[in-house]
């Protein structure tokens, strides 16, 4: 697998969404792994491949700010749908490291940043997944005195950021032990001392309040157990916390997942994982089967309302799916992200704001300063689409060209690769 393009590529006369703003048609030159020039009427270097951008829009590669990535097939699927970077929010360290390494080497996979093991109390969420065989046993945090060693161990395990679970089980249906405010604050301090950003699992208003008060950098879900009061919204925004609403996965818990509609879109369907597609069609016909409902129900509409209000008050909003590989859960890598973008626009973001949530905002929130924008010197993770996604967000599904680190992604061959877990 080549890791750099052999000849420069000039994308000519293309509307450019640079991560925050749309610019009139101009030229963009890629050489090797980077964008080398952006501007009107650039010269064509000798031997350059020329791509006509007329009637098309060039965007930074999309970033999924909340995934649980467990095999290279998921990274392959994500890339086919225009997602060039995934931010993993918790999993088994050896698996996560091997996947990040594979993504460093290969240009047919989305790039990956990892949390490794998330911080939780002994017996806390997601310990229940160990019993189900979905997670390896993992270390936990008993009190503030454990925080420094826990974070040091995450750094040693290769974590790029720290995930903190704030889940008392209310949103899941089983009471679970929760870390104290002192412990969470100590984890945040230990992470910041080592240059790690922190993201908290917060499905309820109570857990979001705890995250805000403990100085966590962002909410990996928007609270979904009821309407947020104004103080919660204002405090999250005042602290500059990012919020990842994960509307796709919340909608997926309701019995009417957004994926039921996505699979009928002829621009998306051919690129979906055939095994996943079969399962979604079965669920759509027969229903999702046993649905677990906790004492506190979560509703994507509350999350959308909370995230939009936080955004309007100044909090960065990031697009993320919570896509995983679990059986019976419809949210997946790649295709579900296009559902998230549509849900964000339906919730009240403009398409431009949704596209910033998909590019520049997650890059800024996680310190990925080599990507998320279109500018000379940045990594050539680029998505070329037909039409204008700032007028119609679903235009971002109509992919005419895709580059990962400057290497064109071949979307015509869709291998059904399922690699062995490391
Ligand atoms: Zn998650």
Ligand 1 centre from 10 Cα, in Å?
38
Compute, in angstroms, the gap from residue 30 CA to the centroid of ligand 1: 34
For the chain, which residues make up each domain, given as ranges? 1-61+371-411, 62-370
Distance from residue 14's CA to the centre of ligand 1 (Å): 36
Please name which of 167, 155, 72, 65 lies closest in space to residue 117, comparing C-alpha atoms. 155
Report the CATH superfamily, name and number, of domain 1-61+371-411.
Answer: Urease, subunit C, domain 1 (2.30.40.10)
Distance (angstroms) between ligand 1 centre and the Cα of 66 equals 6
Q: Kindly give the pairing relationship between strand 111-113 and strand 83-88.
A: parallel
- CATH number for the region 62-370 comes to 3.20.20.140
Give the Cβ contact number of residue 53 at 10 Å: 22
Dist. CA 326–CA 276, nearest whole Å:
10
Ligand 1 center from residue 305 Cα (angstroms): 20
Residue 193 CA to ligand 1 centre (angstroms):
24
pTM: 0.95
**Residue 335 C-alpha to ligand 1 middle, in angstroms?**
17
Spacing, Cα 325 to ligand 1 middle (Å)? 11
- CA of 250 relative to ligand 1 center, distance in Å: 11
Distance 1 CA to ligand 1 centre (A): 31
Tell how far the Cα of 200 is from the centroid of ligand 1, in angstroms.
10
User: Per-residue confidence of the chain (422 residues) as pLDDT tens digits?
Assistant: 444 446 899 999 999 999 999 999 999 999 999 999 999 999 999 999 999 999 999 999 999 999 999 999 999 999 999 999 999 999 999 999 999 999 999 999 999 999 999 999 999 999 988 888 877 899 999 999 999 999 999 999 999 999 999 998 887 778 899 999 999 999 999 999 999 999 999 999 999 999 999 999 999 999 999 999 999 999 999 999 999 999 999 988 777 899 999 999 999 999 999 999 999 999 899 876 655 444 558 899 999 999 999 999 999 999 999 998 766 679 999 999 999 999 999 999 999 999 999 999 999 999 999 999 999 999 999 999 999 999 999 999 999 999 999 999 999 866 554 433 33
Return d(Cα 32, Cα 336) in angstroms, integer. 30
């Amino acid at each position: 697998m080549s890791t750099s393009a052999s000849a420069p590529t000039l994308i000519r006369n293309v509307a450019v969404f640079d991560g925050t703003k749309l610019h009139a048609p101009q030229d963009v030159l890629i050489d090797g792994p980077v964008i080398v020039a952006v501007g009107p009427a650039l010269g064509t270097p000798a031997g350059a491949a020329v791509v006509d951008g007329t009637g098309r829009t060039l965007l930074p590669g999309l970033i999924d700010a909340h995934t649980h990535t467990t095999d290279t097939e998921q990274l392959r699927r994500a890339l086919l749908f225009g997602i060039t970077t995934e931010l993993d929010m918790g999993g088994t360290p050896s698996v996560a490291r091997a996947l990040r390494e594979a993504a460093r080497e290969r240009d047919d996979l989305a790039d990956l940043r990892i949390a490794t093991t998330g911080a939780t109390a002994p017996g806390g969420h997601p310990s229940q997944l160990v019993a189900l065989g979905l997670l390896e046993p993992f270390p936990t945090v008993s009190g503030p005195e454990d925080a420094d060693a826990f974070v040091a161990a995450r750094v040693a395990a290769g974590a790029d950021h720290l995930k903190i679970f704030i889940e008392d089980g209310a949103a899941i249906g089983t009471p679970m032990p929760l870390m104290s405010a002192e412990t969470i604050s100590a984890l945040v301090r230990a992470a910041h001392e080592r240059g790690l950003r922190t993201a908290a699992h917060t499905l309820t208003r109570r857990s979001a309040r705890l995250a805000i008060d403990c100085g966590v950098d962002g909410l990996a879900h928007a609270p979904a157990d009821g309407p947020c009061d104004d103080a919660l919204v204002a405090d999250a925004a005042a602290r500059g916390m990012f919020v990842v609403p994960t509307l796709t996965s919340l909608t997926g818990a309701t019995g009417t997942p957004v994926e039921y509609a996505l699979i009928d879109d002829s621009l998306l369907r051919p690129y979906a994982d055939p095994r996943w597609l079969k399962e979604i069609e079965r669920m759509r016909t027969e229903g999702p089967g046993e649905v677990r409902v906790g004492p506190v129900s979560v509703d994507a509409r509350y999350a959308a309302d909370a995230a939009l209000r936080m955004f309007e008050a100044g909090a960065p909003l990031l697009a993320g799916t919570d896509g995983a590989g679990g059986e019976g859960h419809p949210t997946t890598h790649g295709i579900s992200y296009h559902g998230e973008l549509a849900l964000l626009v339906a919730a009240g973001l403009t398409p431009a704001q949704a596209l910033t949530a998909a590019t520049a905002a997650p890059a800024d929130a996680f310190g990925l300063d080599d990507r998320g924008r279109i500018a000379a010197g940045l990594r050539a993770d680029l998505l070329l689409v037909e039409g204008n996604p700032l007028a119609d967000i679903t235009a971002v599904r109509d992919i005419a060209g895709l580059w990962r680190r400057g290497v064109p992604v071949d979307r015509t061959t869709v291998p059904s690769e399922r690699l062995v877990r490391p």
